[in-house]
Amino acid sequence: MLKSIALAATATLALGLAAQAQAADISGAGATFPAPVYAKWAELYRAQTGIGMNYQAIGSGGGIKQIEAKTVDFGASDKPLKPADLNANGLFQFPMVMGGVVPVMNLPGVAEGQVKLTGAVLASIYLGEIKVWSDPRIQALNPGVKLPTLPVTVVHRSDGSGTSFIFTTYLAHKSAAWATRVGGSDSVQWPTGLGGKGNDGVAAFVKQTIGSIGYVEYAYAKQNHLTYALLQNQAGAFVAPTAAAFAAAAIGADWTKAPGNYLLLLDQPGAHSWPITAATFILLYKTQANPAAGKAVLSFFDWDYKNGDAAAEQLDYVPLPPAVKALMRKEWVAEIKGADGKPVYVSK
């Protein structure tokens, strides 16, 4: 008995040592939203280079805490840090891949893409001001559609989430009442409605409640064929949530004018842009105490920029436009340095 315990302990110890021996592996932690694509990239990268990447999807808040505690090589967050917060910790952030948030509904007799909404009306619904679907404010946007006299049930995320951050920030951008009464954050004090845990929790409540409206990530809405609404963009056009509409929003954005890459892709110009688009971010230390580790991280992400678009699209994420990737490569050289002041990685 004792002997077998001792054996087991030795085996565990040996395993631990073996794991330590592979120091070349990259470690990261953070947002859950991009976790599937990071895992796919890690698998492809390992097959090609033999270097592994271990990513813990513990949430954006956790990712920020972990990188600040220096327990990981990189952090990942759906919510970009403000330039002041970045500077306070000596961090640098860059966008990795994009997604979007889609309003979904459960209205009998109404097909997907049939109902048009604006940001202001969406905010009024989430504020609890619009209580029935046949409200004149919704009807005015949808002259040809017969809207039922059903009560509106608002569904939101109950867990703190980057998706909620993007959605509520968009509402705050479009509605002064939302900005003052609620604001934009990972979790807010919702004026009304039910909270579902995760995208699946929100989707389940929407499917089960007639007359409900919720919001989920684009990939989730697409894969589960949820009834989405068309949304009005900055140019005044009503667009459907498609990969092309997210890409259009990213092309319209000017990253060169965003200090610290603090840029939300909300309500971007362009006739085809989807208004609730967002990038997810990677956090790194500007000064890399171990330049080899910093180089390994940037090599991995540069490899993803070059070879990862197909895998991302397959999983319904939207790759960054080439111009944005080129800009980030330049910033890596200028911003991420070893203790000796030399760039840790230069893309070839």
Partner 1 sequence: MFGPYTGPACFTPKAAMTLAIEQTKTAEPQARKPRGGVLDPIFEGLCFISATTLLAALVGVIGSLLVGGWPALHKFGFSFLTVSEWNPVTEVFGAAGPIVGTIITSILALVLALPVAFGVAVFLVEFCPPLLRRPIGVAVELLAGIPSIVYGMWGLFVLAPWFALHIQLPLMVAAPPGSLLANLIQGVPNGANILTASIILAIMVLPFIAAVLRDLLMTIPPAVRESAYGLGATTVEVILSVSLPYVRRSAIGAVMLGLGRALGETMAVTFIIGNSHDFPKSLFDSGSTIASTIANEFNEATGAMHTSALIALGLVLFLITFTVLAAARALLGPAKTV
Q: Catalog residues that contact partner 1 under the rule CB under 8 A.
A: 58-62, 64, 79, 153, 158-162, 182-190, 193-197, 201, 204-205, 208-209, 212
> Between the CA of residue 85 and those of 217, 220, 333, what are the distances in Å?
27, 31, 21
Residue 261: CB minimum distance to partner 1, A: 18
Structure tokens at 177: 């009442």
Structure tokens at 93: 């952030």
Residue 135: CB minimum distance to partner 1, A: 18
Residue 323: CB minimum distance to partner 1, A: 30
CA–CA separation, 20 and 18 (whole Å): 5
E strands of 45-193, at which residues? 53-57, 74-77, 91-106, 116-117, 153-157
Residue 272: CB minimum distance to partner 1, A: 31
Instruction: Using the minimum distance from each CB to partner 1, give the nearer residue, 186 or 267.
Output: 186
Instruction: Using the minimum distance from each CB to partner 1, give the nearer residue, 36 or 195.
Output: 195
Q: Is the dihedral of CA 281, 286, 292, 293 positive or negative?
A: negative
Instruction: Using the minimum distance from each CB to partner 1, give the nearer residue, 103 or 162.
Output: 162
CA–CA separation, 72 and 307 (whole Å): 24
What 3 state SS string does 173-200 have? HHCHHHHHHCCCCCCCCCCCCEEECHHH
Instruction: Using the minimum distance from each CB to partner 1, give the nearer residue, 207 or 295.
Output: 207
Residue 264: CB minimum distance to partner 1, A: 16
Phi, psi of 102 (to 5 degrees): -125, 130
Residue 195: CB minimum distance to partner 1, A: 3
Instruction: Using the minimum distance from each CB to partner 1, give the nearer residue, 182 or 336.
Output: 182
Instruction: Using the minimum distance from each CB to partner 1, give the nearer residue, 78 or 304.
Output: 78
